[in-house]
Structure 1
């Protein structure tokens, strides 16, 4: 017999608690009371959810409930593999961590209920720049050279501080994660600094090397001069605020050609270049033109107030007008040509830093092909001059184009972003600081410009302030530069097509990410820079000969390989210990050269991308386990990780295993502060997490976040009010239902109390049209079955937000329909009436708590245990009610009744008629009058009318008209030309509705065809209205052709009864004010205005009956303007 759907492991069923009266008896009254798990206590009508949650958390810890939920899913049950992306623990968790954690926890709890074993191993990201920057802060280090220079702190001490700092907040993290009711395994956590984890990372690198997918190259990369390290391209795309508006100076400079373009010209022309980075001008080595771009040579008038007055200037023809102030409004055109005609022309360098023989001999110059005009297909005329300044060390396109033209790269900027001694006039200046003096010298012809021959000297044509979106380091927030550096790369370009293919095997939520932001990123993915010239990280396991005459390169992928070659036991792969491993070069016959490790460490993204296999020390251990558990079933992070962790997981999975790393990915949106901006500690534009936990509880925050669009990839503004609304709209209605049940179950059976056994769901005779259960019970149980099925399907599809919406809709149905219409049955003295109601409500609550367990795990636990006395709702299976509980016909008819009631109550509100005021009649016109007719008395009671008529909408005698409202903003441009005519046609009624739901205007033509406005475009709104002629009638549509018509006329009889209902409410409020409880009898005195005395007397017995009054007296006072009630507990 299925009372409640059985638990998955035979926990004490609720039915067994019925005879345990010794545990559920209140010593004061002898009555059995809920909650069953707290004998002798009562359900608090004014709950403190934070206090309840803390009790539940303590219970879980004491009873090891989390581990029990895993242990009860023993082999050979199906496992659900979840990868927990490792956070840094050198700072406290923020809302983003909490949101991701809530999604992880909800999915894990649900999958456990569905019968799967879900290991939830926590991990820590411990290497990389975040750790180093924190260590620098703690050690007071501003410049990383303080670590390695003579007398500096040294790598060993610095890395020890890193090791300490990355684990500094682990206790706080555990406290936050535990408080949010997220179940994870901290005892068996993994850390990227663990020796086993690092060995797996080294193995991965060597595998890439062996496959030809790891190489060292020299490329222009985003470079942080503050942290002295390059960044990967994907790191610039992770967060929206990586790119920030920055104001810089742009300059247009004229460079003198060595030879004139035109035969017979007095002197060579000036070619104009434009740049937003003046500090790169000393490194200029070429000018790029578009081969097919049209250029023009113009003469600037002598008397024009311009730096190039009297000069001949070359510029793209499309951009001449942009320089009207400098070139004149209509300058004389001397010649035109294409970019191809300019290729090969030489010009005089702006500066003299690399053009002398000494530099050429030393190989420090760009070579003989420098200072030449070259062709490049990326040149456009969208801005600038159409001639592009090329500094090959500071632009990826520049380096590629210059290399193709045989121009060597020079890099006169050091690791700290300062100009080197080669740029002697500005040496030591940080690049951004160098902009001002460089521009000044160009303008005034001073400094290094003064050394140039006047006929060769560059000219500053224009200087302007320029606000543009510029990349900043996502760690230190300093502006980046692009700089040519030596780096190790993963050859992503070689596996790019396969990555795109494997992405099709991943289910993304939201779905557009697959072929959108992630798919497009994969399609254009570049080789991944994985080396960092830093200190704290997994070492790049490459050893090289220190003598280039005897080259050799060794790559290691395990401790065993290192110990084999170096003959020592390796216990720590961190610097500086790993750097002490040296050995003679086997390829050097002299025996003098040594094999030494290159100093770089791996990008921490490489380590986090190795997490699926490194956490289990694959391939050195757990080979069979990993092979059977890879790829993972589920991961989740915010959308920026499509360029971060999601991406690196996918790269390494493709390169190492030729399969995706995960099969399902939820990519949620970004949380914003209360002002709509990014959350900021300094601005304090978001509610304090700890304060929210203490005031509203973790379940309130969980529901607020999971029910929002952010889980579906949108952004969410976090405010105090929105979180508190969750308590008011969800948690309190749920708790009030539980309180209602516990209160009236305790008062049932004449005060003896009733401990329900629940509904026997296996008894088919209770259900169906002839079922023995009350129709309201059959209805709510049918809807409960639908709830479990719908939410189960939504959670299986990772539609968590949809699941919360479904639960909330059901909760509204339960509290505002089922309980409201069934209240009298719970207080009925006849057990054959009240017991089935209690059984039904208990069953519904039990199922509801199991459905809500992943979404509100703390409150659902408290209610479930109080209701059933069982160990935990989180040790139960997902509820599946028998098929015969379903009743689609009843659900459809009852929902129609609900719609009629809702529409009528809306009419009452619009007409300012309080619900306590009875009305004479209501007409409900529907397309299914036979289905709705049995619920006439139910509808009448809910809307407080004396009579309900149910008619067929087609024969009701009322006219329904369609009203069309246009939305011109959504019109197509061609339609906007006839907007006024469309409004005139609407006013005249000259339009028709098509079979597709669109609106057609035969009398308004565009290009010879009638205008058709499509519904999906939002170009119009169509509303139906019921036409009524009598002022005493009010009508509104319900939907699908149905409507209600309410008779709003009042007579004295109706007003008298309304007065009595108002008095009942007044007395009930007074009962509550003096502390009387349900079941307490009272005495009262009613003082009313004299003209209401007769009305009061006529309904006194009703008032007494409804308020539990033993005796009452009425005082009619002529001076009284309103009624007063005095109540007191009845004397025995």
Structure 2
């Protein structure tokens, strides 16, 4: 079947709402009041959208919708688990993008009859809240309990502001039943996950290097880092003199003389903590001599050329050997005379930068720690919690910041002993604390960890069963999993869920088992986690717990002071929030920053406890940015406040009030899987699009005045063919819209809607039916047939856009015919279509007529089709029979075929007459009929002759169908006679 375009002709689309009476002049004036023009009090534009939307929310029970649908019986449930926004500030457009995107899907599911499970939540713990809560106090002399109280108050205030904004945006939820990570019952569920993972040996305590934020004075997880690509470090090439020659090279090295291993580092402050120099066993190494000073250096062979360029001298290779030949060699530490550094093999050594020999400080590097574990090297941390050297670094360095003056002092010490071969600035990517925006260090400390390496394969297998939208995000998820071999979950702060552990006063051994954690969880569920500080130790270490733990007396133990990483807090939300029957959500919908955050922590905890992902589908959206593509920043001044978008700013001429639906349209229309731009241009475009939509809806409502579909609707089989065809088109449209919503493709919904309105309605159907609507008898079959379809279209369009524009949809529903007072759209279901509407043969007939009309219009460019009459010639066959169904008599001024052609008169024949007038314009074409899946295929040719009509314009309907000037046409004359 060929789907052909439908041209815009005649009176045009709904843009001409201010249409004057179809009669004009003295003759027309007599019939002005007999024409049934559209009438409605539905406004074309809305002034003060804020007030109207609030009225609609109240009148249509927005706040009761979630509760209503939860109480309604439904065959299926749809669960969208809300990723908790952080309770540390005012709502912003990022919140709007995320919450509205979720709400569009939830409202769609409610409309289609599913029971939606959606519990909004907030992430309430963590350092940013703690710091903001304490920021105005100007003192650090607070107890943990006082800090927690201030942080809770701050979080609750932020939650209140955010919740009010979400409600104003029309987000559907039971707002009195949200989840909060500081709630006692939530914390108890979280500890149950912690206990299950500990029982399986996945949680352990260890002394190893972790990312450490001196500015926050706490350990950080990988997900809490952001990398600054413009960080500048002072990079050094440093010599480690060779004290003991490798055994395999001893014979040939007798003549070498004084040789030094050359290393490169961007962190000179770690040199005092050096324990070894590592090489790659299977790589070639060389002894080279500098041309400028004859210094002998040991380096990787493939780095010689680059090093010569850096050092600005020629490097002569004196000998070459395999890395494994370096085994047994020992170097002198450059600044600590009594300390030696063995040459050791390691697979983490790379040849992309540096010298091919790597300085190794086990307490201050992840890979370095692995080498120390394998070769039993000391792991001595020389940096304290504030990022300053400890006494282990020596009196010259003690108490100096390792990132500033301490680093400079180490460089001076190296210069003093002549160990620096080259010093340069190095611009490179470096980890920063995502909260304080300050650089972090790596330092060894005693922390609690999750062994994520043992979960990696299970997590990847679980992800195979998860649908990822867009699919391209899957590789990022897998890459993030590979990067995390362990997860540090302990934090040295007060505001959070305490790690449920006790330590023996003398041995330091932790007391942590299923008996102790279960009891602590019960206490937290009843009294909250503040009880960790308010209750005596006996509340937690009861005689029963001590007995089952085979522990000593209560007095032998002290409480742990660390709290859990907030990613563990939120990552356990599936256990605290999702339905117990199947704690697995249909969808998780969050920004791309959660690929290494909540998506991952939720996956790891769920896989650890129950071997499956907590979600069936992951939707990963982009960030909101300015219209220039810039990240929003207060310093740049490009921040868009959603409250100003809705209510307007101080200067309404610059920042007008758009209302919530404009904000929602912006979300729906955007490609949310990339960066989403917002600004005056996008908002004005959204407002204009909604106004155009209102115009269409107003046209529909205006022509349904006085029509009751419950008693006056026409059966599809009795309708005009073009009306039946429009039901067919509406059914196709509704199915495509349903599919698009199901795919989280709201942009496609908008495109389908706009195409349907412009192409199928304004430029085609509305242009054709206006004469029948305005000039046929009010109760005629033809007019009621048309109104029946208009009501179905109004209903279908309203429901199709309702998930995106709930306020507009309910406003239309308040004006629409066919339902009782108090009914609301969202309580009445999705688009109602019928399989009866699918009429393939009918579709071919109308599409064929459209093809003929296109040929006719292309032959009279710029002319008024209404002033022409047509002779259509089709060779006998199936196509002739289909077109004949639109016009039974040979010639007619009021047939369905004439209506489709929008001409004065149409004649249907099997061949054009030979005596065509001289001013006739002819055109030809072909149309392919394709029915029953290709079983019936027939291509037919047609000819069209168009000539100026000999008929006069009727003063009532303005069609050229009258036999005499200023006289009524037969149709209008009959209408008026019957109206008397």
- TM-score, normalised by the number of residues in structure 1: 0.70
SS at match of 2:264: strand
Give yes or no for contact 1:99–1:705 (8 Å, CA) kept in 2.
yes
Of 695, 718, 729, 1:736 maps to 695
Q: 1:470 to 1:571 in 2, by over 3 A?
A: closer
Whole-angstrom distance in 1 between the partners of 2:438 and 2:903? 65
Counterpart in 2 of 1:553? 511
Give yes or no for contact 1:542–1:598 (8 Å, CA) kept in 2.
yes
Whole-angstrom distance in 2 between the partners of 1:86 and 1:896? 55
1:888 corresponds to 2:840: yes
Give yes or no for contact 2:63–2:174 (8 Å, CA) kept in 1.
no
Counterpart in 1 of 2:556? 594
Q: Give the drift of 1:921.
A: 10
Q: 1:335 to 1:760 in 2, by over 3 A?
A: farther
Of 244, 250, 254, 2:235 maps to 250
Whole-angstrom distance in 2 between the partners of 1:490 and 1:84? 25
1:386 corresponds to 2:338: no
Q: Give the drift of 1:401.
A: 1.3
* CA offset digits 1:1037-1058 (Å, max 9, x no partner): xxx999999999xx9x99xx9x
Q: Give the drift of 1:780.
A: 1.6
Q: Give the drift of 1:478.
A: 1.4
Whole-angstrom distance in 2 between the partners of 1:443 and 1:937? 97
SS at match of 1:126: coil
Whole-angstrom distance in 1 between the partners of 2:873 and 2:285? 78
Counterpart in 1 of 2:589? 636
Of 287-296 and 76-85, deviating more is 76-85
1:837 corresponds to 2:796: no
- Structure 2 counterparts to residues 461-472 of structure 1, below 5 A: 461-472=421-432
Counterpart in 1 of 2:914? none
Of 787, 791, 800, 2:746 maps to 800
Q: 1:481 to 1:444 in 2, by over 3 A?
A: closer
Of 487, 491, 494, 1:535 maps to 494
Q: Give the drift of 1:384.
A: 1.0
Of 719, 729, 747, 1:783 maps to 729
Give yes or no for contact 2:92–2:640 (8 Å, CA) kept in 1.
no
Whole-angstrom distance in 2 between the partners of 1:689 and 1:882? 41
Whole-angstrom distance in 2 between the partners of 1:898 and 1:435? 82
1:696 corresponds to 2:658: yes
Of 434, 454, 471, 1:494 maps to 454
Give yes or no for contact 1:758–1:843 (8 Å, CA) kept in 2.
no
* CA offset digits 1:349-385 (Å, max 9, x no partner): 1222xx65xxxxxxxxxxx8x5111111122221111
Whole-angstrom distance in 1 between the partners of 2:466 and 2:309? 56
Of 951, 960, 964, 2:925 maps to 951
1:279 corresponds to 2:250: no
Whole-angstrom distance in 1 between the partners of 2:870 and 2:85? 64
Whole-angstrom distance in 2 between the partners of 1:401 and 1:395? 10
- Structure 2 counterparts to residues 1031-1110 of structure 1, below 5 A: none
1:860 corresponds to 2:860: no
1:824 corresponds to 2:771: yes
Whole-angstrom distance in 1 between the partners of 2:824 and 2:521? 52
Q: Give the drift of 1:697.
A: 2.2
Give yes or no for contact 1:296–1:334 (8 Å, CA) kept in 2.
yes
Whole-angstrom distance in 2 between the partners of 1:906 and 1:374? 84
Whole-angstrom distance in 1 between the partners of 2:607 and 2:784? 61
Q: 1:565 to 1:872 in 2, by over 3 A?
A: closer
1:517 corresponds to 2:476: yes
Segments of 5+ residues of structure 1 without an aligned counterpart are 1-28, 36-40, 147-151, 357-367, 450-457, 617-625, 747-753, 955-1039, 1065-1077, 1082-1099, 1109-1132
Counterpart in 1 of 2:650? none
Counterpart in 2 of 1:401? 371
Counterpart in 2 of 1:44? 43
Counterpart in 2 of 1:79? 77
Of 792, 797, 815, 2:762 maps to 815
Aligned-CA RMSD value: 4.4
Give yes or no for contact 2:185–2:526 (8 Å, CA) kept in 1.
no
Whole-angstrom distance in 2 between the partners of 1:351 and 1:921? 102
Segments of 5+ residues of structure 2 without an aligned counterpart are 1-32, 648-656, 887-895, 906-918, 929-937, 959-963, 973-980
Give yes or no for contact 2:242–2:332 (8 Å, CA) kept in 1.
yes
1:201 corresponds to 2:163: no
Q: Give the drift of 1:524.
A: 5.6
Number of aligned residue pairs: give it.
872
Q: 1:45 to 1:564 in 2, by over 3 A?
A: closer
Whole-angstrom distance in 1 between the partners of 2:605 and 2:551? 39
Whole-angstrom distance in 1 between the partners of 2:62 and 2:667? 29
SS at match of 1:221: strand
Whole-angstrom distance in 2 between the partners of 1:943 and 1:392? 93
Give yes or no for contact 1:250–1:275 (8 Å, CA) kept in 2.
yes
1:727 corresponds to 2:687: yes
Counterpart in 2 of 1:20? none
- Structure 2 counterparts to residues 389-468 of structure 1, below 5 A: 389-423=359-393, 424-434=395-405, 437-438=408-409, 440-441=411-412, 444-445=415-416, 449=417, 458-468=418-428
Whole-angstrom distance in 1 between the partners of 2:523 and 2:68? 47
Q: 1:734 to 1:888 in 2, by over 3 A?
A: farther
- Structure 2 counterparts to residues 1008-1047 of structure 1, below 5 A: none
- Structure 2 counterparts to residues 555-704 of structure 1, below 5 A: 555=513, 561-562=519-520, 572-573=529-530, 576-577=533-534, 594-615=556-577, 626-694=579-647, 695-704=657-666
1:342 corresponds to 2:340: no
* CA offset digits 1:436-468 (Å, max 9, x no partner): 6246515742xxx4xxxxxxxx52112222221
SS at match of 2:457: helix
SS at match of 1:826: helix
Q: Give the drift of 1:227.
A: 0.9
Of 789-798 and 208-217, deviating more is 789-798
Counterpart in 1 of 2:133? 135
Give yes or no for contact 1:673–1:685 (8 Å, CA) kept in 2.
yes
Of 46-55 and 281-290, deviating more is 46-55
Q: 1:886 to 1:433 in 2, by over 3 A?
A: same
Counterpart in 2 of 1:873? 825
Whole-angstrom distance in 2 between the partners of 1:781 and 1:437? 79
Q: 1:632 to 1:1103 in 2, by over 3 A?
A: farther
* CA offset digits 1:117-169 (Å, max 9, x no partner): 2243222211112321222323336xxxx3xxxxx222121111111111112
Counterpart in 2 of 1:478? 438
Give yes or no for contact 1:925–1:952 (8 Å, CA) kept in 2.
no
Q: Give the drift of 1:637.
A: 1.0
Give yes or no for contact 1:517–1:642 (8 Å, CA) kept in 2.
yes
Whole-angstrom distance in 2 between the partners of 1:924 and 1:427? 102
Give yes or no for contact 2:855–2:944 (8 Å, CA) kept in 1.
no
Q: 1:78 to 1:760 in 2, by over 3 A?
A: farther
Q: Give the drift of 1:492.
A: 2.4
Give yes or no for contact 1:920–1:947 (8 Å, CA) kept in 2.
no
Q: Give the drift of 1:404.
A: 1.5
* CA offset digits 1:753-801 (Å, max 9, x no partner): x23326988x7xx44xxx4212221122111122222222333344333
Give yes or no for contact 1:288–1:376 (8 Å, CA) kept in 2.
yes
Of 192-201 and 257-266, deviating more is 257-266
Q: 1:877 to 1:563 in 2, by over 3 A?
A: closer
- Structure 2 counterparts to residues 734-773 of structure 1, below 5 A: 734-746=693-705, 754-757=706-709, 766-767=715-716, 771-773=717-719
Counterpart in 1 of 2:70? 70
Counterpart in 1 of 2:96? 98
Q: Give the drift of 1:51.
A: 4.0
Give yes or no for contact 2:87–2:129 (8 Å, CA) kept in 1.
no
Whole-angstrom distance in 2 between the partners of 1:821 and 1:562? 74
Whole-angstrom distance in 2 between the partners of 1:689 and 1:1103? 60
Q: 1:759 to 1:897 in 2, by over 3 A?
A: farther
Whole-angstrom distance in 1 between the partners of 2:401 and 2:443? 14
* CA offset digits 1:180-200 (Å, max 9, x no partner): 111111111221111121122
SS at match of 1:679: coil
- TM-score, normalised by the number of residues in structure 2: 0.80
SS at match of 2:391: coil
Q: 1:265 to 1:879 in 2, by over 3 A?
A: same
